[in-house]
């Protein structure tokens, strides 16, 4: 029998078994489209999004014109704005119609009402607590395993893409739909070092720094990822979490982490007050090669040069990344 857990007056179902989680999520989404109008509207809008490919120097990206993402892409994430709004991930603030599936002890999986993908979920901590990866590395890996092979799980740092930096969450997307998931297996990959049985690679000629880590042992890979975060933190000279977007996927027996080290959240063009403003707010999906433009004029005018400039502006520089990787050896 599925267990229930009460939380601030709401109860969520648990999946019957961990291995049936991804199937039960598909069912949850179907049912929620019938019972929750805002979600049905969000998915109806997704049917009419437009996409086009843009050739950049050495790589391609896909642009997605998705007006439904305006609230999320343009969300003010400064401390005062966050303090002044009520948190949309807190259980007590969820729409009445919203249901979820419990997973990984502290998290509930929710349907994202502003989808980028045909199946798009937010995996939200049951308590209001800040976005931070390190305490939840074991959850990140267990989620990726439980949701495999149908889904990949991703994380956006609190200062580089999370639209709720005050409430811990991951997201899940259908495996393979973020272009970098294919690129990470392409000829552009080059091995940098091995630590035990974990291989660390980078992607060349890709317009933004991209670190790939692979291994068959979850715990060791988690340790290496933790070390890399520590190394980036020291080299950047911050006491906060280094700015990163991370994808995690599992295809038995292989785990794969794809990490984008960042130096900036939004490009300067995002903050302009005139016609030249570009509403692009890069997070894991955008860094992964699917660039979301909620404004049609940006969808029409973004070209290879503009995309390259945005990636270059928000990505960590290669020299710093090299130093962080060398410090791991």
Write out the residues near Zn ion by the rule CB under 5 A. 87, 89-90, 128, 167
What is residue 50's three-state secondary structure?
strand
Phi, psi of 259 (to 5 degrees): -125, 130
| Residue 167 CB, nearest approach to Zn ion (Å) | 4
Shortest-Cβ-distance residue relative to Zn ion: 87
Q: What is the C-alpha separation between 235 and 257, in angstroms, rounded?
A: 21
| Residue 90 CB, nearest approach to Zn ion (Å) | 3
Whose Cβ is closer to Zn ion: residue 112's or residue 293's? 112
Q: What is the C-alpha separation between 248 and 225, in angstroms, rounded?
A: 11
Any idea what the Cα angle at residue 137 is, between residues 134 and 138, rounded to 5°?
140
CB 172 within 8 A of CB 182: no
Whose Cβ is closer to Zn ion: residue 71's or residue 300's? 71
Task: Tell me the β-bridge partners of 256.
Answer: 214, 249
Whose Cβ is closer to Zn ion: residue 75's or residue 236's? 75
DSSP 236-273: HT-SSPPPEEEEEEEETTEEEEEEEEBS-SS-GGGG--
| Residue 128 CB, nearest approach to Zn ion (Å) | 3
What is residue 140's three-state secondary structure?
helix
Percent helix, strand, coil in the chain, to 5, is 35, 25, 40
Residue linked to tokens 């400064």: 78
| Residue 92 CB, nearest approach to Zn ion (Å) | 9
| Residue 262 CB, nearest approach to Zn ion (Å) | 23
- DSSP secondary structure code for residue 134 in this structure: G
| Residue 89 CB, nearest approach to Zn ion (Å) | 5
- DSSP secondary structure code for residue 277 in this structure: -
Whose Cβ is closer to Zn ion: residue 8's or residue 300's? 8
Whose Cβ is closer to Zn ion: residue 135's or residue 176's? 135
Whose Cβ is closer to Zn ion: residue 66's or residue 124's? 124
Whose Cβ is closer to Zn ion: residue 90's or residue 132's? 90
Q: Quick count: other Cβ atoms within 10 Å of Cβ 252?
A: 9
The whole-angstrom distance between residue 58's C-alpha and the CA centroid of its chain comes to 24
Q: What is the C-alpha separation between 12 and 208, in angstroms, rounded?
A: 40
Whose Cβ is closer to Zn ion: residue 115's or residue 165's? 165
| Residue 126 CB, nearest approach to Zn ion (Å) | 10
| Residue 242 CB, nearest approach to Zn ion (Å) | 23
């Amino acid at each position: 029998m599925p267990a229930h857990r009460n939380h601030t007056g709401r109860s969520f179902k648990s999946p019957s078994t961990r291995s049936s989680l991804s199937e039960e999520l598909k069912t949850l989404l179907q049912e929620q489209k019938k019972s929750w109008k805002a979600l049905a509207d969000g998915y109806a809008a997704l049917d009419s999004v437009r996409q086009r490919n843009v050739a950049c120097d050495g790589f391609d990206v896909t642009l997605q014109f998705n007006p439904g993402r305006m609230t999320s892409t343009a969300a003010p994430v400064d401390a005062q704005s966050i303090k002044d709004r009520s948190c949309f991930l807190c259980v007590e603030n969820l729409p009445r119609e919203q249901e979820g599936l419990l997973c990984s002890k502290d998290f509930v999986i929710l349907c994202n009402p502003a989808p980028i993908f045909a199946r798009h979920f937010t995996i939200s901590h049951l308590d209001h607590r800040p976005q931070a990866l390190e305490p939840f590395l074991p959850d990140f890996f267990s989620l990726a395993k439980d949701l495999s092979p149908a889904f990949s799980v991703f994380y956006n740092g609190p200062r580089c893409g999370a639209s709720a930096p005050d409430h811990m969450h991951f997201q899940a997307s259908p495996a393979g739909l973020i272009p970098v998931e294919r690129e990470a297996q392409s000829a552009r990959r080059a091995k940098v070092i091995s630590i035990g049985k974990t291989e660390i690679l980078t992607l060349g000629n890709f317009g933004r720094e991209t670190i790939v880590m692979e291994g068959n042992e979850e715990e060791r890979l988690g340790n290496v990822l933790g070390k890399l975060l520590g190394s980036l933190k020291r080299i950047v000279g911050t006491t906060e979490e280094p700015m990163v977007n991370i994808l995690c996927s599992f295809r038995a027996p292989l785990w794969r982490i794809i990490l984008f080290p960042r130096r900036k959240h939004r490009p300067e063009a995002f903050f302009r007050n005139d016609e030249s403003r570009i509403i692009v707010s890069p997070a894991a999906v955008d860094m992964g090669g699917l660039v979301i433009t909620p404004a049609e004029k940006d969808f029409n005018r973004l070209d290879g040069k503009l995309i390259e400039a945005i990636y270059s502006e928000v990505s960590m520089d290669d020299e710093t990344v090299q130093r962080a990787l060398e410090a791991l050896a």
